[in-house]
Chains A and B, each alone.
Chain A
Amino acid sequence: MDESPELVSLRNGTKVTIRPMVAGDGPALLSFFRGLPEEDRQFLRDDVTRPEVVERFVAKLDDDSVIPLVAEHEGRLVGDGTLHRTRHGWAVHVAALRVVVDREFQRSGLGTALAHQLVRRAVGLGLDKLVAEVVDNQIGARRAFEKLGFHQEATLKGHVKDIHGAKHDLVIMANDVSHIWERMEALVADYSPTAGD
């Protein structure tokens, strides 16, 4: 379920397909990342303009700790959204969200659509908590996540160095989705005041 592509109509009427990343996406992904302006790229965790980095993303497709989605418009990739989780250890209930959208396609709801699909998948995987890491001056990204129900949970001072060597705070935004599962828990509790045979 939900592995099928979803056709999204953006605010300006443009149609974009959101679908899982596939092995053949390597070259298109690389040109998408290379087309990003430096300011959108500089705070991404990896240097995504290097072919070997992108190849690594594509090679990891059968790893169930990463769920990668892409947004496609007329054969070109215009957005990338991933959900990262650990399969063992103390944070198995947590996943991190990362979203990047082509400049041309920003502010038309695509980032929100990608993030929304990832949140839905995370809930579908039974996760309790989602986090997103944004740099303090990424106002747009912070706003976008806030609109999806994330709130600022912690700040790591001077945690990020941009390509000019300047340090920035890293803001960790979180979204607790466990209430969704609490309702399910209540349903399976089998409690009823009418005890009997």
Chain B
Amino acid sequence: MAKSEIRVGGLGGQGVILLGHIIGKAASIYDSKHATLIQAFGPEARGSACSAQVTVADEAIGYPYVKSPDYLVIMSPDAYTQFAPQLKPTGTLLYENELITIDDRLPAGAKALGIPATRFAEELGRRLVLNIVMVGFFAGVTGLLSKDAMEKAVKGSVPKGTEELNLRAFRKGYEYGVELIGAATVTG
């Protein structure tokens, strides 16, 4: 891996920043890579657009801003509308597929992989862990960072007492992601 640029987008209250933070932490602390994180908020936190830019690289990162991401992790329709056109044509969109419908905003050639993350989070007991399901999905689909590093980053970023549910959320997303790309390679 030379350098991977990731944009995370969603609504305030979905845990966008925490999601970006965990990817960055997994890379820099547990996988000995370099990572930068830039957060952006709309005018109000809850219910408004929110995004994070994460860059992960083997070497020190000179320019931390993500213009055209390799990976787009999207949790709300507005964030999809705003960021989908910026995805690299060789890039991958990871999206919450019960909230978002893919259309021709997505660059031709880009891959789109969906997960019913909100439903999974609710089934696990807390809608709140939607973003952690997405973290797991990201880990399973991209393989960019080791599963171990990602799990450690989840554990080290969430409040004490919530680790178990968060790890279950991570694994749910991870397994779904691994299965999905496994199925994709078999059929296509």
**A is bound by B:** yes
* A187 partner residues in chain B, CB cutoff 8 A: 15, 18, 157-159
Contact with B along A173-197 (1 / 0, CB 8 A): 0000100110111011111101111
Q: Does B131 contact A (CB under 8 A)?
A: yes
- Complex Cα distance A126/B15, Å? 17
Could you tell me if B159 and A180 are in contact, using CB atoms closer than 8 angstroms? yes
Could you tell me if B162 and A189 are in contact, using CB atoms closer than 8 angstroms? no
Q: Which residue of B lies closest to A124 (CB)?
A: B164
Say how far A197's CB is from chain B's closest CB, in angstroms. 5
Could you tell me if A123 and B165 are in contact, using CB atoms closer than 8 angstroms? yes
* A2 partner residues in chain B, CB cutoff 8 A: 164
List which A116-141 residues lie within 8 A (CB) of chain B: 120-121, 123-127
Say how far B139's CB is from chain A's closest CB, in angstroms. 16
- Taking a contact as CB atoms closer than 8 A, the residue among A120, A121, A127, A195 that contacts B41 in the complex is A195
Could you tell me if B41 and A194 are in contact, using CB atoms closer than 8 angstroms? yes
Q: Which residue of A lies closest to B17 (CB)?
A: A190
- Complex Cα distance A195/B42, Å? 6
Count B interface residues, CB 8 Å: 32
- Complex Cα distance A195/B39, Å? 9
Could you tell me if A188 and B18 are in contact, using CB atoms closer than 8 angstroms? yes
A-B contact count (CB 8 A): 82
Query: Contacts A196-B41, A197-B40 hold; do A191 and B125 have CB atoms under 8 A apart?
Result: no
Could you tell me if B164 and A1 are in contact, using CB atoms closer than 8 angstroms? yes
Could you tell me if A124 and B168 are in contact, using CB atoms closer than 8 angstroms? yes
Say how far A125's CB is from chain B's closest CB, in angstroms. 5
- Complex Cα distance A197/B49, Å? 10
Say how far A120's CB is from chain B's closest CB, in angstroms. 7
* B164 partner residues in chain A, CB cutoff 8 A: 1-2, 120-121, 123-124
Say how far A3's CB is from chain B's closest CB, in angstroms. 11
Say how far A67's CB is from chain B's closest CB, in angstroms. 13
Say how far B174's CB is from chain A's closest CB, in angstroms. 13
List which B10-31 residues lie within 8 A (CB) of chain A: 12-18
Could you tell me if A180 and B162 are in contact, using CB atoms closer than 8 angstroms? yes
Could you tell me if B165 and A188 are in contact, using CB atoms closer than 8 angstroms? no
- Complex Cα distance A104/B164, Å? 33
List which B148-163 residues lie within 8 A (CB) of chain A: 157-162
- Complex Cα distance A187/B161, Å? 14
- Taking a contact as CB atoms closer than 8 A, the residue among B13, B42, B161 that contacts A188 in the complex is B13
Not counting A126-B165, A180-B159, A188-B15, a sample of 19 additional A-B residue pairs whose C-beta atoms are within 8 angstroms of each other reads A124-B164, A124-B165, A126-B124, A126-B126, A126-B128, A127-B125, A181-B126, A184-B128, A184-B158, A187-B18, A188-B13, A188-B18, A189-B45, A190-B50, A191-B45, A191-B46, A192-B39, A192-B41, A192-B45
Residues of B within 8 A of A (CB): 12-18, 39-43, 45-46, 50, 124-126, 128-129, 131, 157-162, 164-168
Closest A-B pairs by Cβ, 8 of them: A126-B125, A188-B15, A124-B164, A191-B45, A183-B159, A126-B126, A180-B161, A190-B12
